[in-house]
Amino acid sequence: MKRYQLSDALSISAIVQGFWRLDGWNFSAGELADFMNACIDRGVTTFDTAEIYGGTVCETLMGEAFKKDPTIRKRIELVSKTGIFVETINGKPFGYYNTSYDRVMQSCRESLKRLNTDSLDLYLIHREDPCLDVWETARALQQLKKDGLVREVGVSNFDPFKFDALNKAMDGALVTNQIEWNPVCFEHFNSGMMDQLTADKIHPMIWSPLAGGRLFSDDATCVSAMKKIGEIADRHGVDPSVIVYAWILYHPVGAAPITGTNKLARLDHAIQALDVKLAHHEWFEIYAASGQQKIR
């Protein structure tokens, strides 16, 4: 398995397994441990979660699997995130962000407890908090590193301005930005984030590479994208999802797609993409396929 070096202290597998949907999988702790071991056997050693996933249930379920097979934790890079919270107001859930020093410190300790582990390999600020005090958040992330509770830190869904601001307060210590990118989502191309990450030699992690499964739906934009992707898949004699992963892996930024499936055959499509060589013009065919991006 190809790996990306995020820092001197941390590398991740080029294909990452995501556990956002874990609370819907109905896996026992033993079944989850088996699934995790099957990922590791394939070289997919980086596992992604967050405190908000399933309202903290996903971290708890992962922690139970780590307890069931205590060898797993030592063989993976464990990623979690903080910053999103939900308050019940007038009987209705209200989502908001909190990236203050105290909240980040408390959240990390709580995540470690749920995950049955002493430390995280990578800890991310989950979203682009508009009330972010970069100096406060940086102080918390630096303290967590100093205390040995996290190995490296990064962010998720940050635009170039927020990334630069927090990275300045962190003396350049952010090692990734976990962002959405797929054939129907180009936010971070249009913001210039992809160029900035390429220039800074920072590998992004890519969430919802298959648009959360929407790519296979009858949504008109997805149908347009998949028509072209299917055509290119036929040229290469592979499943269309293999082409989507190959398209992400092709980019010079060195992106690590995070698969969200619980099916090993579908995880294997992501791994297979590492051996697919797209023609340069094929990358552009997919870039333009949904009609959202223009090649001038």
Residue 55 engages ligand NAP in binding (rule: CB under 6 A) = no
Residue 86 engages ligand NAP in binding (rule: CB under 6 A) = no
Closest to ligand NAP by CB, 20 vs 35, is 20
Report in angstroms how near the CB of residue 90 gets to ligand NAP at its nearest: 27
Residue 160 engages ligand NAP in binding (rule: CB under 6 A) = no
Compute the C-alpha angle 246/13/152, nearest 5°. Answer: 130
User: How many Cβ atoms from other residues are within 10 Å of residue 192's Cβ?
Assistant: 13
Antiparallel, parallel or unpaired: β 11-13 and 3-5: antiparallel
User: In angstroms, rounded to a whole number, what is the distance separating the alpha carbons of residues 293 and 287?
Assistant: 7
Query: Which one of the listed residues 53, 97, 250, 287 is annotated catalytic?
Result: 53
Residue 19 engages ligand NAP in binding (rule: CB under 6 A) = yes
Residue 157 engages ligand NAP in binding (rule: CB under 6 A) = yes
Report in angstroms how near the CB of residue 210 gets to ligand NAP at its nearest: 3
Closest to ligand NAP by CB, 91 vs 259, is 259
Residue 45 engages ligand NAP in binding (rule: CB under 6 A) = no
Give the DSSP per-residue string, 191-211. TSHHHHHHHHT-PPEEE-TTG
User: In angstroms, rounded to a whole number, what is the distance separating the alpha carbons of residues 6 and 141?
Assistant: 17
Residue 213 engages ligand NAP in binding (rule: CB under 6 A) = yes
> How does DSSP classify residue 268?
H
Is residue 53 part of the annotated active site? The answer reads: yes
Report in angstroms how near the CB of residue 296 gets to ligand NAP at its nearest: 29
Residue 230 engages ligand NAP in binding (rule: CB under 6 A) = no
Compute the C-alpha angle 94/161/98, nearest 5°. Answer: 25
User: In angstroms, rounded to a whole number, what is the distance separating the alpha carbons of residues 194 and 29?
Assistant: 38
Interaction residues for ligand NAP, span 236-255 (CB under 6 A)? 241
Closest to ligand NAP by CB, 51 vs 64, is 51
Cβ–Cβ under 8 Å, residues 107 and 82: yes
Residues that bind ligand NAP (CB under 6 A): 18-21, 48, 126, 156-157, 178, 207-213, 216, 241, 258-263, 266
Which residues carry out catalysis?
53
